[in-house]
Structure 1
Amino acid sequence: MSAATTENSSGPRTLRRGLQILQTLQAHDESGLSVTELSRLTGLQRPTIYRLLAALTECQFVHTVGKTRRYAASKPTHPHAENEHHLVEIAKPFMRELAFKVGDAVFLVIRENNDSLTLWREIGPYPVQILGTYVNKRQPLGVGSAGMALLAKLDDHTVDQIIEANSHKLDHYGGMTQRELRQLITNTRTRGYSVVGNYAVRGALGVGCALCSSQGHPLLAVSVTAITERMPARRQKEIARLLHQTLEHIAEKM
């Protein structure tokens, strides 16, 4: 085989292998896969995977997961990214102040189709922090307290559509059922704030409140999450009050 033929065939083969790795990562969640797992799933040798991961990472198609040796597919930048960045910059100082005041972690979340998307989090000074979600993490709308605050503000028809679309995912969150999710929605609408515990993270309880437009459409939610022992009913109510204050401050700056 001539050098030219070898060069022509190696290019498409490398591309196919790179796409194979990317598609494998896209089929898994954001916890990612190790090189060993990728090798087992794709049948490719580890040196080849390392080389292709380096190229995919450089082009921002793939990223490492935190400080681990795992890799995940990067989410594509979408048209609302600039608005989300602006929202984070507005919310940060108020979230930081709230986290310092309550001692626990504070999360900023929006709705994206049938999911909740975490835009930012601030960590409080209490020694034990519940960090059940992180920036850019998606999960079914309603399994976390901020997502539940958003879900409860939607009309019943939209709620039904979202629950149906996510029905096959709910069991992965503490065995949540559609019936339990609907009860949480009712409770949230009655109280004016959400209380969700032991679903997304075992031993944790979150309180969330949503900010709506003048037409009643939920724009964003902020939540506080702590270990269950720190969240008696009285404190839940006080945190909800502080959350509403925080949302008012954010709304004034938007």
Structure 2
Amino acid sequence: MNNTPELTPDTESAAGPRTLRRGLQVLNTLREHGPAGLSVTALARATGLQRPTIYRLLAALIDSGLVGNVGHSKLFVAKLDAPPAPPASQDPRIEPTLPAMRRLAQATGDAVFLVVHDGHESISLWREIGPYPVQILATYAGKRQPLGVGSGGMALLAALPDPEVERIIECNSSELELYGGMTAREMRRLVENTRMRGYSVVGNHAVRGALGVGCALLDRRGKPLLAISVTAITERMPAQRQREIAGLIRTELSGLVLK
């Protein structure tokens, strides 16, 4: 049984313009601020919108080419003011993973993400959207967040040595509560669970109402190279499906040849 609420014609007619107005509000706020850029927190303060709403609107604006990042920072600018940045497709890890991600998106129906590790953060390099009508677009190309708050980042974090895991958690501890009330203690528990399962399961932290499953690709020394995750609404992710999706991701990762 699908418990996802359906939009009626009346709610659609109300939701569409409201979302458009909010998107334009975010875009205009960025344009008014100029090339220095604004963080999600600053945007929420300036517009009165909640952070999850800001993230969703930014994802759509970035996909439309209207908003960009200031370099590799957490600041966002209206595209006309943004400094030119090389496209994410220049990253050599994207091209060999694209066929695998597209197969996973079709097989699961859900959104698939390519995530890599950079210091104490994860970076989303790419996403593929599946055919299921309700998609959780938890992140977008270029988005950075504390390593481990998403399922792809958690798969990467859990593959690191214990001292590095602890250093990263401590480094990010002041930011974790911004992600659905995540704590350092919870992060450590998720690392242990990921190692026991062999894949990560992270729900309701980076995006409320979402649950993601992620697996990391390791090199011969056991160092994580990248992770692929699948995210869907929680109702679509019972434990059995989590295991099935993890199996699909592992199969695709086992066939990857990076340049």
The residue identity in structure 1 corresponding to 2:197 is R
Which residue is equivalent to 1:74? Answer: 71
Equivalent pairs, count: 202
Which residue is equivalent to 1:169? Answer: 175
Secondary structure of 1:97's partner?
helix
Equivalences for 1:136-155 in 2 at 5 Å?
136-155=142-161
Segments of structure 1 that go 5 or more residues without pairing to the other structure are 1-19, 38-63
On the 8 A contact 1:107/1:121 being kept in 2, the answer is yes
On the 8 A contact 1:32/1:70 being kept in 2, the answer is no
Cα 1:85–1:31, aligned 2, differ >3 Å: closer, same or farther?
A: farther
On the 8 A contact 1:105/1:123 being kept in 2, the answer is yes
From 199, 224, 230, the counterpart of 1:193: 199
Secondary structure of 1:173's partner?
coil
Cα 1:72–1:116, aligned 2, differ >3 Å: closer, same or farther?
A: closer
State TM-score, norm by structure 1. Answer: 0.72
Which residue is equivalent to 1:45? Answer: none
Equivalences for 1:10-159 in 2 at 5 Å?
21-23=34-36, 25=37, 28-29=38-39, 65-67=62-64, 72-75=69-72, 85-159=91-165
The residue identity in structure 2 corresponding to 1:106 is V
The residue identity in structure 2 corresponding to 1:176 is M
CA displacement at 1:248 relative to structure 2? 1.2
Q: Could you say which structure has the larger radius of gyration?
A: 1
On the 8 A contact 1:116/1:139 being kept in 2, the answer is yes
CA displacement at 1:30 relative to structure 2? 6.0
CA displacement at 1:87 relative to structure 2? 1.3
Partners of 2:178 and 2:184 in 1: how far apart? Answer: 12
Alignment RMSD, CA only? 2.8
CA displacement at 1:85 relative to structure 2? 2.2
Cα 1:108–1:84, aligned 2, differ >3 Å: closer, same or farther?
A: farther
On the 8 A contact 2:89/2:95 being kept in 1, the answer is no
State TM-score, norm by structure 2. Answer: 0.71
Partners of 1:95 and 1:31 in 2: how far apart? Answer: 31
Percent of paired sites with the same residue: 54
CA displacement at 1:75 relative to structure 2? 2.9
Segments of structure 2 that go 5 or more residues without pairing to the other structure are 1-32, 47-60, 74-82
CA displacement at 1:239 relative to structure 2? 0.3
The residue identity in structure 1 corresponding to 2:162 is D
Which residue is equivalent to 2:184? Answer: 178
On the 8 A contact 2:211/2:232 being kept in 1, the answer is yes
Which residue is equivalent to 1:17? Answer: none
Secondary structure of 2:182's partner?
coil
The residue identity in structure 1 corresponding to 2:72 is K
